[in-house]
Chain A
């Protein structure tokens, strides 16, 4: 006879909370950085003289977007 207690399967707790937080936090910045550099590549492809103007803007946008993923990384360790 199977008692109710015996029917409960024991599972080992896998510490997923931290990495899961970071994985969810990295979706948005991943797409965002892809968009930023797609725009940069398009701009330089259409007009190569714009490289000097667009490159600082691309790196600035990259840093601003990446910080969101890194804040998620910090919270994954807290």
Chain B
């Protein structure tokens, strides 16, 4: 694989002696285009990984649902487990009687977020594509449009926003504070935090992993101090432990994204009174 800007810059800092350690920062999340042809300037590593993840999600669910054997084989069982987790654990409990419409959307969201997050610790890729903020905000946009559409279809445009701003059973004076907050939350804060939560979690996790790995490599190969070289396994051990912690966080963030989308849809479905 051709060396990226990241590895070239850090290789220079790793082989240099003396205090040449360049701490990783946001510039390490920028990837150059993969090929030098004129029309393919947009294709860099995160976009290629996202395309691969879309294909993987589709192939996963399609192959799992194709045979429909009554006694499932191993792969069909795995696909059914994931689908049942989203359907029973998230959709049926949270949304209520009308959950069936939304399960394909939620299952696809869960698969997409999970696979893209696992890319963050997968051996050759090691970059969570949702660390680039554009990707999570697109998914959050779809969730936002979905729950707005459901709410407006349920109660009409004015009726939905009236139900959001003036929920029943609250003393009148509180409405002056509550109504702007609720409108702001539905229109702006929910999609924004939904995307930013995923992006910031992946950004922070990847940054930590890169810091400990490159720091360990710097400590191992520096020419100045033997003590640093002897202490470098600590940095590598921290990188290994953080990788397993990062795996937990990635699965958890996928679950949280889908759970919050289901919660917002459930709340939009209840606006009929």
- Please tell me the size bucket of the interface on B: 10 to 19
Across-interface contacts of A56 in B (CB, < 8 A)? 89, 93, 259
Measured CB to CB, the closest approach of chain B to A68, in angstroms, equals: 9
Taking CB atoms and an 8 Å cut-off, the chain B residues in 12-27 that contact chain A are: 25-26
Known A-B contacts A73-B204, A77-B25; the reply to A63 vs B196 at CB < 8 A is no
B100 at interface by CB-CB < 8 Å: no
Measured CB to CB, the closest approach of chain B to A62, in angstroms, equals: 8
B238 at interface by CB-CB < 8 Å: no
Known A-B contacts A59-B252, A63-B252, A77-B25; the reply to A70 vs B197 at CB < 8 A is yes
When chains A and B are docked, how far (Å) is the Cα of A2 from the Cα of B259?
68
A38 at interface by CB-CB < 8 Å: no
Measured CB to CB, the closest approach of chain A to B246, in angstroms, equals: 14
Measured CB to CB, the closest approach of chain B to A53, in angstroms, equals: 9
Chain B, Cβ-Cβ closest to A74? B200
When chains A and B are docked, how far (Å) is the Cα of A66 from the Cα of B200?
10
Q: Are A60 and B259 in contact (CB under 8 A)?
A: yes
Across-interface contacts of A71 in B (CB, < 8 A)? 193, 196, 200
In addition to A56-B89, A66-B201, 7 A-B residue pairs with Cβ atoms within 8 Å of each other are: A56-B259, A59-B252, A59-B259, A63-B253, A71-B196, A73-B200, A74-B203
Give B contacts to A, CB under 8 Å: 25-26, 89, 93, 193, 196-197, 199-201, 203-204, 252-253, 255-256, 259-260, 263
Going nearest first, the 8 A-B pairs with the smallest beta carbon separation are A70-B200, A63-B256, A67-B197, A77-B26, A74-B200, A73-B204, A67-B193, A73-B200
